[in-house]
A and B are shown apart, each in its own frame.
Chain A
Amino acid sequence: MSEPLLSIHDFSVTYDVDPPVHAVKGVTLELARGEILGLAGESGCGKTTLAYGVQRLLKAPAVITNGSVMFHDASGEDVDINALGAEEMRRFRWDKISMVFQGAMNSLNPVAQIGSQLEDVFEVHRPEMTPRQRRSEVADLLELVRVGAQRARSFPHELSGGMRQRVMIAMALALRPQLMVMDEPTTALDVLVQREIIRQISQLRHEFGFSVIFITHDLPLLLEITDRIAIMREGEIVEVGRAEQIWTDPQDAYTRTLLSSFPRLTGERGVVVR
């Protein structure tokens, strides 16, 4: 396989409450450069905790109790994410790994213009840019996701759900990160818009070559768009494999259960049977 981008080794996250909740238990996973990896499982299986945890985005009482996360930067440097201090982490964020969140309804600051919310990423991470450069960069980003540069002065409540999610994608793309983590990016949208967003993501990936971790409970979607899929259950990864192989030859009983719970669209009645 192509060179690894993210090496997660024996990673564990615990919520330090009473009694403690072991949300992620000893996960080992490797993400290749330019790969799109699906992370699937039922609600509460820990997929979101894992994705947030490797970026250290979880707030107390969550604690990383074990394992390491190595980020193999394109420059050749290896970054041990767990060892970064707060300020280094702040600089690392969005620059190397960015995120597209679920439900763009509330992910944008309601009182600030779209353009300024995109610009402040540059203000903080690329202080050498002039205001004019920032504005032009933001306009390019908005055109790229087909929202339109003139929307830079709009407010979030003036855009539809699909457009807001596109803005989130543009924001995630701003610093040309090497990895984008997408947490159920299309779950809150209607089917047509979902399609558009997925296509958009694929297009951008081919153009810019970043890796994607795509989190969702929608396994059929993952079967269509991802290179590999990891199935999670109760904090552990039960199976990892290429998409076709998961579909044709699932190894784990849980995977088989998941696959068989989707109804057929065509042909005989009943659930999908392979």
Chain B
Amino acid sequence: MTGVQPQLAELDTDALEVGTTATSADGGRARVPWRYLGRRAAFYLFTLWAAITINFFLRRMMKGDAVSQYLSRNRNVSPEAADALRTLLGLDSDKSLLEQYLDYWVLLAQGDLGISLLHGLRPVTEVVSGALPWTIGLVGVATIFSFAIGTVGGAVVGWRRGSRADALIPITTFLSTIPYFWLGLLAIAVFSVNLGWFPIGKAYGVGMRPGWNAEFIGQVLHHGALPIATIVVASLGGWMLGMRNMMLTVLDEDYITVAQAKGMPNQRVLWGYAARNAVLPQIQSFALSIGFIVGGSIVMEMVFSYPGIGKLLLDATNAKDYALMQGVFLVITISVLVANILADIVYAFLDPRTRQAGV
């Protein structure tokens, strides 16, 4: 008979040494995910270069030379400004393409985006920086609200499978297939024209002078409420659907079962274990959607006559003010990149797996 004696021989393996993966696990050094952030930064620099180059070539394809005519008719444009305009708008075809490209970069590095024909020959940078805060305020606030409400809502709907809250998903998805601008126009028709609760457009009342006083801020909030609400309602569906789907995937994971076996209360499992993991892909998809969001919000500005860069772009396009168009596009692209970087930073700090070597 073969013996059944336990043969637990003494193995001299030191438990602490057995195959750990990361050396930086020891010690309490702050673990900044340099590698991950570095790769993202390299990508964004590349994208910026690509955007600027696209801008450069875009100009050369444009027809309709309002600028040359304008320049030839107006003598009060300084020679430097005229030169800058020509470089920016690709009119200096006497130079080689490479020279034009390099000149273009030099101008940009100096922060010179040309002058705006539409806005009384003021520098483009000045015009844009006047409009930018309004857009950032509108889009920023609306997006944060929408993301927050959608994500939290999606987490709750995903957690309570089969409840009546499930109906929220098709409703919000339906709302998000409605074009932004139509929803905005409807909102104006209902709330401004008929009910008179909100003003019809603009960021503040006609004749008000901007200033940091209560009346002005009150007006800004009043005027901004409808556009922000419209954007939130229209974009909520996407966030909610994404989060709910991720929750369903996460809830099947082992660590959720373990948490419940540990006797964790439901709220803790929902937020600390499930939502905390499901939100990671949400943030990634948020970073990718910023471009879309900006696009939609531009339209909002037109609908509500909001003095942001979206409206600036549209006005410039209609007036064929090419320098302004280019400048706005560049600024929009840079803003989107910055927002992306911020989202990536947030993601890197929320997901500890990015701090591993080789990510």
Contacts and interface: CB of A to CB of B under 8 A. Distances in A.
Contacts of B351: 111
Given A154-B25, A157-B356, A162 B262 contact: no
Question: Binding site of B, secondary structure by majority: helix, strand, loop or mixed?
Answer: loop
B18 A94 contact: no
A244 B257 contact: no
Given A93-B262, A160-B18, A272-B2, A110 B255 contact: yes
Nearest to A264: B2
B45 interface: no
B263 A158 contact: no
Given A160-B21, A202-B8, A93 B263 contact: yes
Contacts of B22: 154, 158
A189 to B, nearest CB: 10
A36 interface: no
B25 A158 contact: yes
Interface in A206-249: 223-225, 243-244, 247-248
Chain B CB within 10 Å, residue with most, of A111, A153, A196: A111
Interface in A83-98: 90-95, 98
Contacts of A95: 263
A224 B263 contact: no
Contacts, number: 135
Interface stretch (B104-112, B237-245, B270-278, B305-313): B270-278
Contact of B4 (A153, A162, A224, A266): A224
Nearest to A106: B254
B262 A171 contact: yes
Contacts of B19: 160-163
Contacts of B342: none
A15 interface: no
A239 B175 CA distance: 62
A171 B353 CA distance: 22
A124 B257 contact: no
Contacts of B264: 90, 120, 124
Contacts of B163: none
B321 to A, nearest CB: 49
Contact of A111 (B1, B268, B352): B352
Contacts of B4: 223-224, 243-244, 247
Contacts of B261: 55, 57, 93-94, 98-99, 101
Q: Give the 6 A-B residue pairs with the shortest CB-CB distance, closest first.
A: A146-B15, A93-B263, A160-B19, A106-B254, A155-B352, A158-B22
